[in-house]
Structure 1
Amino acid sequence: MNIVLNGEQHQLAAPQALSELIGSLNLSGQAIAVAVNRQIIARPQWHVYLLQEQDKVDVVRAIGGG
Structure 2
Amino acid sequence: MPPKRVIAERGYGSGKRIEKSYFSSTYETLTSPENSAMVKAIAAFGVGVAFLSSSFGEFLLPPQ
Give the TM bin, normalised by the shorter chain.
under 0.3
Bigger relative contact order, structure 1 or 2 (CA pairs below 8 A, ≥6 apart): 1
**Structure with the larger strand share:** 1
Q: Name the larger-Rg structure.
A: 2
Higher helix share: 2
The TM-score with structure 2 as length reference comes to 0.20
